[in-house]
Amino acid sequence: MDNEGIQPVQWQDNQLLLLDQRLLPEQTVYLHYSKSTEAADAITDMVVRGAPAIGVTAAYAMVLAAREAMALSANNWQQELTPFIDYLAKARPTAINLHWAIVRMQACIETLATNNDTALATLLDEAKAIHSEDIQANKTMGEFASALLPENCGVLTHCNAGALATGGYGTALGVIRSGVANGKITKVYADETRPWLQGARLTAWELLQDNIPVTLIADSAAAYLMQQGKIQWIVVGSDRIAANGDVANKIGTYSLAVAAKYHGIKFMVAAPTSTIDMDMPSGDGIPIESRPKDEVLAVMGHRVAAEGADSWNPVFDVTPASLVDAIVTEKGVVEQPTTDKILAMMQSGT
The residues annotated with a catalytic role in the active site are 239
Transcribe 192-210 into DSSP letters.
--TTTTHIIIIIHHHHHHT
> How many H helices and E strands in the chain?
13, 16
Look up residue 219 and give its DSSP letter.
G
Q: What is the Cα–Cα distance from 258 to 262, expressed in whole angstroms?
A: 7
Q: What is the Cα–Cα distance from 45 to 63, expressed in whole angstroms?
A: 20
The dihedral region occupied by 30, where left means phi > 0, alpha psi between -120 and 50, and beta the remainder, is beta
Transcribe 86-133 into DSSP letters.
HHHHTS-SS-HHHHHHHHHHHHHHHT--S-HHHHHHHHHHHHHHHHHH
Q: What is the Cα–Cα distance from 155 to 192, expressed in whole angstroms?
A: 15
Q: Please, which contacts does 70-75 make with residues 24 or more away whose CB atoms are closer than 8 Å?
A: 70/116, 70/119, 70/120, 74/114, 74/116, 75/114
Give yes or no for a contact between 273 and 329, defined as CB atoms under 8 angstroms apart: yes
Instruction: Please give the C-alpha separations between residue 311 and each of 98, 252, 254, 306, 340, in angstroms, as whole numbers.
Output: 28, 16, 19, 11, 39
CA 242 from centre of chain: 15
